[in-house]
Structure 1
């Protein structure tokens, strides 16, 4: 899939206005999940954004002439939605809550619970054939899981979403994505705010006259084929995260952050 460098992660967002504001500022990738319990919120924000009902201060409203096809709407099936006979009903419920005719990107949230690649993935593929889903992705997979999914689907996933930030990432997952030609969607790129405590990130931010958060996003998106989905709800943070895609780090700056020894996974199994 072709995804913009920065999208909107919505875990914890409970106000449709945040989503509508994001669209007005130029966001074109919205990410949610059934387990977040806010698909309806995202759907309301999407509808408001498409209707041009968001206020963005003195900014030019980027929703003028915005079409539904311009926005990638992604959600995820939780581990109890992954049995072959549960996939389609769960996806239909999600589409209804999101207010969309088709889900642009539907992920397996984790390869756990009722997940059975030989049953779950063909069930997802059938929804693509039926038009309810446009692309099938995976999330929180390891290399063996990815290889098995490719074997079953006969193609790479449309995207792989995984935790990725200066305190935790797996280079082998990026190598796999490059080899097979699919994007990696980095969630929690700000490490829950902990990037402000990472000396290497702070030093690069000071050198550029910007924030550690902007540097963390720029560092992530510098790693082809990574795109990032930081969560933000205020207009100021939404603007800052989107602008971070334009920050260019040097190879030595990226390497300095790569060299951070501390490892802190926020969402382990």
Structure 2
């Protein structure tokens, strides 16, 4: 049975840093040709959809920003739909803050109801300290994604996971996290494609976000070995991908079987 749509991770799946994964452009072109719905997903909330769209175009992908769902966009929509009228204190890069404002959420510092934490490369002690005090006064902590580290071309950068742990520990509260592996991200992605989420398939390179999201939801998954995960990582893992391929270049082989 052919999938209703594909949710496709980006870094490690279709590119690594500034280098496209060989065969990735052709794989996406095949989905376009076959009219199979797809959306790119990324937990990285340090950049806007416009940024990712331009990056993909430069690599040869024929896609616009409407095909991209960042954890920032998903989280902003979650707040708009399920926290109607709440005041939000936004911790984000300037460009990302602007994108969030364009979705109708303006950062507030007058007793906010929500602290929205993204991957902010301009984060400061002042921002974290304000967040702590707002949460202690009753604000809800909502974060875009749980990742502790962000893959870079050479190694990793510190991601927002440690800041989530810090604020949770200091305030004794549990955050809401919207990005992968949360089912909230899956719901948003299926909505973007206009398909039944139960028939969708996740393609990605991380066991604990991409594959975990699919496993939690009981949907199909394809692990690519072009990024973070290695075959040895599957030993003792609590997730079992539906398929394992060397890279997304082999997606056509799976489509032939469906």
Question: TM-score when scaled to structure 2?
Answer: 0.33
Bigger RCO of structures 1 and 2 (CA < 8 A, at least 6 apart): 2
Question: TM-score when scaled to structure 1?
Answer: 0.32
Q: Which structure dedicates a bigger proportion of its chain to helix?
A: 1
Q: Which structure dedicates a bigger proportion of its chain to strand?
A: 2
